[in-house]
């Protein structure tokens, strides 16, 4: 079986455990767990990333990245409360977020909000690196939380933002692949919600979309987003770039 970066950016490599105290659920994340080390070793050594994002393998560095992002007051997304950080054992304890794990089946309002929050991250200079859809949770009142940010960096990089958007769309497409095949109109509406939300959250969003149309990222799109949706996504991005250019010229 061919190694796929996207296959490793999924739920099978979780490093978390849950415990209950006085009826409240807490999450314990161990960054030096074997599954986490294997996951990020394979990703950092894989040629599929092609240097598009500075993935970190070291547990202490991944913990530091997550804490910096989760505690930053001007980042993006709603975030769980961090209760304890133990740097000696590379362990973090945080509150549990009750809600639905974000997926292709989410309402279009949620697709829009997740993408808008991702855009806000990018506008503030943050990138997630691991922007797979299972890292987002939404509540019944449509608050959108991020629950994993151990690869987050703040380098104000358009390339890193484009990487995030590609990973996000590819995992969203993979999750809804068969339903999208059955009804492509629904898939296109999902893409409209995603791209519209992203541009609403990031005033530099046009630059990110244009980066996705470059040779390197277009190649990655055809690798990561399954056919025929890689083509549909690229054409949709082209339309949004043209629309943004037209609007900015008024």
* pTM for the predicted model, two decimal places: 0.87
One digit per residue, the tens of pLDDT, for the chain of length 250 reads 333 444 444 544 457 788 888 888 889 998 876 454 445 444 444 545 557 899 988 899 999 999 999 998 777 999 999 999 999 999 999 999 999 999 999 999 999 999 999 999 999 999 999 999 999 999 999 999 999 999 999 999 999 999 999 999 999 999 999 999 999 999 999 999 999 999 999 999 999 999 999 999 999 999 999 999 999 999 999 999 988 654 443 3
d(C-alpha 208, C-alpha 204), whole Å:
7
Length of the chain as a residue count = 250
Three-state DSSP class for 167?
helix
Q: What is the greatest pairwise CA distance in the chain?
A: 59
In this structure, are strands 100-101 and 153-154 parallel, antiparallel, or unpaired? Answer: unpaired
Q: What is the pLDDT of residue 244?
A: 63
Which of 200, 188, 177 minimizes the C-alpha distance to 247?
200
pLDDT reported for residue 38: 46
Residue pLDDT, tens place only, 170-191: 999 999 999 999 999 999 999 9
- Quote the CA–CA distance of 195 and 115 in Å, as a whole number: 7
Residue 50: its pLDDT value, please?
59
Q: Which residue ranges form the domains of the chain, and what is each CATH number?
A: 5-95 (3.30.200), 100-248 (1.10.510.10)
Q: What is the pLDDT of residue 78?
A: 95
Task: Report the first-to-last Cα separation within the chain, whole angstroms.
Answer: 51
Our CA dihedral for 183, 186, 191, 194, rounded to 10 degrees, sits at -140
| 43, 47, 50, 56 alpha-carbon torsion, rounded to 10° | 30
**φ, ψ at 73 (rounded to 5°):** -75, -20
The beta-strand segments (E) located in 44-152 are: 82-86, 91-95, 100-101, 126-127, 136-138, 144-146
- Residue 70: CB partners within 8 Å, gap ≥ 6? 79, 80, 82, 94, 149
Q: Kindly report, residue by residue over 193-215, the tens digit of the pLDDT.
A: 999 999 999 999 999 999 999 99
Question: Rounded to an integer, what is the distance from CA 150 to the centroid of its chain?
Answer: 11
């Amino acid at each position: 079986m061919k190694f796929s970066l996207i296959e490793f950016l999924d739920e099978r490599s979780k490093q978390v455990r849950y415990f209950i105290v006085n009826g409240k659920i807490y999450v314990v994340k161990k960054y030096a767990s074997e599954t986490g080390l294997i996951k990020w070793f394979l990703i950092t050594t894989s040629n599929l990333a092609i240097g598009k994002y500075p993935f970190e393998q070291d547990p202490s560095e991944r913990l530091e990245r997550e804490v910096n992002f989760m505690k930053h007051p001007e980042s993006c997304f709603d975030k769980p409360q961090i209760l304890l950080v133990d740097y000696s054992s590379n362990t973090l304890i945080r509150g549990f977020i009750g809600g639905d794990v974000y997926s292709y089946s989410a309402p279009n309002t949620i697709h829009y909000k997740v993408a808008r929050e991702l855009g806000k991250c990018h506008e503030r200079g943050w990138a997630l690196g691991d922007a797979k859809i299972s890292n987002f949770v939404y509540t019944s009142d449509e608050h959108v939380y991020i629950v994993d940010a151990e690869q987050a960096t703040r380098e104000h990089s358009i390339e890193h933002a484009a990487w995030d958007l590609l990973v996000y769309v590819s995992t969203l497409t993979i999750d809804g692949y068969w339903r999208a095949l059955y009804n492509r109109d629904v898939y296109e509406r999902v893409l409209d919600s995603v791209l519209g939300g992203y541009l609403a959250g990031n005033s530099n969003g046009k630059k990110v979309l244009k980066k996705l149309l470059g040779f390197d990222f277009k190649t990655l799109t055809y690798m990561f987003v399954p056919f025929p949706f890689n083509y549909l996504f690229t054409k949709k991005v082209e339309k949004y770039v043209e629309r943004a250019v037209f609007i900015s010229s008024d």
